[in-house]
Amino acid sequence: MLKRSTKLLAITIVTYTLIELVCFVFIKFGYVKAKLPDFKYSYTLTEYPFPIADIDSIWGTWHYPEHFLREENCLKFNYHINSWGARDIERSLHHKDSNRVIVLGDSFMEGYGMAEGKRLSNQLEKNTNRQFLNFSCTNFGTTQELLLYQNLASKFDHSTLLIGILPYNDFEDNDTSLHMNPYYKRFRPYYKGIAPNYHLVYCEDSIQKTNFNKQGFFKKENSPKARITRFFRAYTCWFNIITFFLDYDIVSHQKQTLGSYQYRREQWEKMCFILQNIKKAADHRRIIVITIPTSADIKKFRLSGQPPLKEAMDSFCRINNMEYVDLLPLFASRPHSEDEFYFTCDPHWNEAGNTFAAEQLKHLFIEPDHRKSSN
């Protein structure tokens, strides 16, 4: 009986080792884009890994007003958040020079994973001698940008808005059907209805019900289930492959747009509604809209040419007295830009990408804008 049990144990160990070895090879040589185990395990997590949480009662996601320091692969997060909750230096509501620029956008405009001084808005401020007040935030869509502008950013003296739109996910970010997060309860706003009759709704009807914050994170991540999951992620290849395909399956079912090249009519109508409301809140101020390409967009552009979004945005902005710059053809004009301008470990712009974007846009801000704020 003992001999039989020993043999069974040996077979089990050998089989497990072979499975783990095969999974290691698949990950190591890129057949599966899962992460290799890092053999770092913490039984109890004590550090909150995000600079954001659902903490604002109007637009939901916003920065904790504190210093956030973290390194992750090729990314370095050294965020100083001002008293308004923006990743920016301290800014006053009123200023003797009201010829300032309000910056709205998501993680690209926030300067995700890179030094504040090297991101787009800081480079534009340095090169144009104008103040760029950055109110961008990771996890934002244009709905959040509208609500933030109406309720906070519009109170600051300024003459110009710079709005960064990421077609890859901004259409989805406004779509209630794609964001019912199975892991976190979110206090995230959406416009719901049929154009032009939209009404504002939230995933949860109260900010007190969200668990995307420090308290919710520690409660979930230090639960028995999360601790076991974290252990297997840290020490096994097979588990990382299984979770990769589970996550990929969720994403592939949710991914119903291809950004600039394919979006649904109702998504476009909602985007137009939001931009028109930003225009209304901005009153007479100058508005510049830019569309931001991903590396995948650049590759698609070289194969398929100009996406249909360009013509639609050109027409919309012309009718609504906005200026529009599509950065896709400009980025695609540079050989190997899909590698040169993006992090090796992450799809966001690196320093070179931010610098190139700043070079393409700075001429729009060098000449003084004499349409001053009425604040």
- Span 236-287, pLDDT tens digits: 999 999 988 887 654 444 444 457 888 889 999 999 999 999 999 999 999 9
pLDDT in tens, 147-187: 999 999 999 999 999 999 999 999 988 877 655 555 678 99
Measuring CA to CA, which residue among 97, 116, 58 is closest to residue 372?
97
Q: HSE (CB half, 13 Å, CA atoms) of 319?
A: 9
Distances (CA, A) of 208 to 4, 143, 211, 215, 296: 58, 20, 8, 11, 38
Residues 6+ apart with CB under 8 A from 193: 199
Q: What pLDDT does residue 254 have?
A: 45
**Burial 311-336, CB ≥16 within 10 A → b, else e:** eebeebbeebebebbbbbebbbeeee
| Mean local confidence (pLDDT), 178-199 | 83
pLDDT in tens, 292-320: 999 999 999 999 999 999 999 999 999 99
pLDDT in tens, 317-330: 999 999 999 999 99
Q: Do residues 358 and 127 touch, judged by C-beta distance below 8 A? A: yes
* CATH topology for the 65-175+257-366 domain: Rossmann fold (3.40.50)
Phi-psi region of 13 (alpha: psi -120 to 50; beta: other; left: phi over 0): alpha
The residues that bridge with 162 in the sheet, in sequence order, are 103, 288
The band of 202, judged by pLDDT with boundaries at 50, 70 and 90, is: very high
Domain boundaries defined on the chain: 2-44+213-254, 65-175+257-366
The residues that bridge with 104 in the sheet, in sequence order, are 163
Q: HSE (CB half, 13 Å, CA atoms) of 340?
A: 12
Q: What is the DSSP letter of 313?
A: H
pTM here is 0.88
What span, in angstroms and rounded, lies between the C-alpha atoms of 298 and 69?
32
Handedness of CA 234, 240, 246, 251 (dihedral sign): positive
Q: Is 89 helix (H, G, I), strand (E, B) or coil?
A: coil
Q: What pLDDT does residue 361 have?
A: 98
Beta strands in the chain (DSSP E): 52-56, 60-63, 67-72, 75-80, 101-104, 132-134, 160-165, 189-194, 197-202, 286-291, 323-326
What span, in angstroms and rounded, lies between the C-alpha atoms of 162 and 136?
10
pLDDT in tens, 4-34: 888 899 999 999 999 999 999 999 998 888 9
Burial of 70 (0-12, 13-18, 19+ CB in 10 A): middle
Q: Do residues 244 and 236 touch, judged by C-beta distance below 8 A? A: no
Q: What pLDDT does residue 300 have?
A: 92
Q: What pLDDT does residue 182 have?
A: 59
Q: What is the DSSP letter of 261?
A: S
